[in-house]
């Protein structure tokens, strides 16, 4: 699974991945549907995570994501793959947490030390979090920070973030309901109930590989390893576990049997508006298939900007000003692309403003 497609194969690869990402073909119909399909949506940028849902569904609102996080409890946000916040199905939280967080402990301990929080104080902070949420949860980050600081534990700088990460890695808390514009923390045991029996690691690796390929295939073992934040050997073990369900390919990549093969390529969308940290640029070791030659700088210093995808390539950046979409110059567009830009612009504004409607 280590092949690297040649130049002539990249348009076909991009088309297949766009279909796997739900950016072409039939969209998902619910927040849980798109989240489950992609398995995990990077969510440290809350607007970006909601826009990722918009781009892969039809007719939903940003408030539908809030509803799924709050009353529905169908999705949660937690530090998982690569130590980054991700939106996942509540039912997937358990095994993804078990599989992807143990290797994050050493880095968390190092960052706490850099922030001047010794282990005993960090443990005290976790205790304050657990007691506070048991008595008065859900609570926001600011509310937890005040309570931890009142207990004499350092919270300045990034210390509070890494104390919250520690509580998360220990399976104590998760980000759950929205309180206004903020997402509150809750106790895992209160919000998600009794945990299922731990999943065997080999079974979990196979499940990870299958679910990853559903939303990202075709892909290589190194793509899976980078996306999940796992060693390459684990990625290979996961792919080996599902080998009987993989398609026969001659490019060295893995995809699930029954998907669109080289002979039946899906269409590429004329134009789409994608938000910050969109999964399309985070799912593989290389972003090259989706970047236009000489195009805008979409990713820099770990930040991923909102961008315009034209015929499968990032061609310009866009932003919001007073609730309106503003795009950088796009150059010459075909009539279908101009129509798609108008429809996408209107739909982003509708989605974020909470206006019901269905995208054409």
Average pLDDT over residues 54-70: 97
Average pLDDT over residues 324-353: 97
Whether residues 48 and 186 share a domain: the answer is: yes
Alpha-carbon 168 to chain mean position: 17
pLDDT at 355: 59
Strands (E) in the chain, as ranges, are 41-42, 75-79, 85-89, 173-179, 182-187, 271-274, 299-300, 303-304, 307-310, 313-321, 324-327
| End position of a domain, from candidates 191, 209, 224 | 191
Task: Answer yes or no: is pLDDT of 89 > 60.
Answer: yes
pLDDT tens track for 202-212: 999 999 999 99
Whether residues 164 and 294 share a domain: the answer is: no
Whether residues 142 and 283 share a domain: the answer is: no
- Residue 201 included in any domain: no
Tell me the CB-side half-sphere exposure of residue 322, using CA atoms within 13 A.
0
**Number of separate domains in the chain:** 2
Whether residues 326 and 183 share a domain: the answer is: no
Sign of CA dihedral 186, 68, 350, 278: positive
CB 272 within 8 A of CB 23: yes
Task: Answer yes or no: is pLDDT of 5 > 70.
Answer: no
Whether residues 46 and 178 share a domain: the answer is: yes
Give the confidence band of 356 by pLDDT, cuts at 50, 70, 90: low
- Residue 287 included in any domain: yes
| End position of a domain, from candidates 191, 209, 233 | 191
- Residue 162 included in any domain: yes
- Residue 300 included in any domain: yes
- Give pTM, 2 decimals: 0.94
What distance in Å separates the CA atoms of residue 144 and residue 9, rounded to the nearest whole number?
A: 51
- Residue 284 included in any domain: yes
- Residue 206 included in any domain: no
What distance in Å separates the CA atoms of residue 174 and residue 90, rounded to the nearest whole number?
A: 10
Whether residues 170 and 279 share a domain: the answer is: no
Whether residues 158 and 282 share a domain: the answer is: no
Token duo for residue 82 = 């690569």
Whether residues 152 and 282 share a domain: the answer is: no
CB 233 within 8 A of CB 305: no
pLDDT tens track for 193-202: 999 999 999 9
Whether residues 164 and 68 share a domain: the answer is: yes
Whether residues 167 and 283 share a domain: the answer is: no
Average pLDDT over residues 95-104: 97
pLDDT at 11: 81
Which has more pLDDT, 336 or 263?
336
Which residue from 104, 71, 74, 98 is spatially nearest to 87, judged by alpha carbons? 74
- Residue 136 included in any domain: yes
- Residue 213 included in any domain: no
pLDDT tens track for 163-201: 999 999 999 999 999 998 899 999 999 999 999 999 999
Give the confidence band of 359 by pLDDT, cuts at 50, 70, 90: very low
Average pLDDT over residues 27-31: 97
pLDDT at 71: 97
| End position of a domain, from candidates 156, 191, 226 | 191
Average pLDDT over residues 302-330: 96
Task: Answer yes or no: is pLDDT of 110 > 70.
Answer: yes
Q: Which domain holds residue 348?
A: 271-353
Whether residues 49 and 168 share a domain: the answer is: yes
Whether residues 49 and 151 share a domain: the answer is: yes
């Amino acid at each position: 699974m280590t092949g690297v497609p040649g130049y002539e194969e990249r348009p076909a690869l991009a088309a297949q991945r766009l279909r796997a990402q739900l950016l072409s073909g039939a969209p998902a119909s619910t927040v849980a549907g798109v989240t489950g399909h992609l398995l995990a949506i990077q969510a440290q940028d809350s607007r970006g995570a909601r826009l990722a849902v918009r781009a892969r569904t039809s007719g939903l609102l940003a408030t539908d994501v809030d509803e799924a996080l709050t009353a529905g409890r169908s999705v949660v946000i937690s530090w998982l793959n690569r130590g980054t916040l991700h939106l996942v199905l509540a039912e997937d939280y358990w095994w993804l947490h078990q599989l992807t967080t143990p290797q994050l402990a050493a880095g968390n301990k190092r960052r706490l030390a850099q922030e001047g929080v010794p282990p005993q104080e960090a443990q005290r902070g976790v205790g304050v979090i657990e007691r506070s949420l048991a008595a008065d949860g859900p609570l926001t980050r600011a509310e937890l920070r005040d309570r931890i600081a009142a207990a004499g534990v350092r919270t300045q700088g990034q210390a509070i973030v890494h104390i919250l990460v520690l509580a998360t890695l220990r399976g104590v808390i998760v980000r759950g309901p929205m309180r206004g514009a903020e997402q509150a923390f809750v106790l895992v045991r209160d919000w998600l109930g009794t945990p299922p029996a731990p999943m065997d690691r080999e079974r979990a690796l196979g499940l990870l590989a299958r679910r990853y390929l559903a939303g990202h295939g075709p892909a290589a073992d190194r793509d899976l390893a980078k996306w999940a934040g796992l060693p390459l050997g684990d990625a290979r073990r996961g792919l080996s576990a599902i080998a009987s369900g993989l398609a026969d390919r001659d490019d060295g990549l893995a995809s699930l049997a029954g998907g669109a093969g080289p002979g039946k390529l899906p269409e590429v969308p004329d134009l789409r508006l994608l938000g910050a940290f969109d999964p399309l640029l985070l799912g593989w070791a290389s972003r090259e298939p989706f970047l236009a030659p000489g195009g805008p700088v979409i990713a820099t210093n770990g930040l991923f900007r909102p961008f315009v995808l034209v015929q499968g390539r990032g061609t310009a950046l866009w932003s919001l000003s007073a609730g309106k979409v503003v795009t950088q110059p796009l150059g010459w567009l075909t009539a279908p692309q101009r129509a798609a830009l108008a429809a996408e612009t209107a739909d982003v504004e509708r989605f974020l403003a909470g206006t019901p409607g269905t995208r054409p």
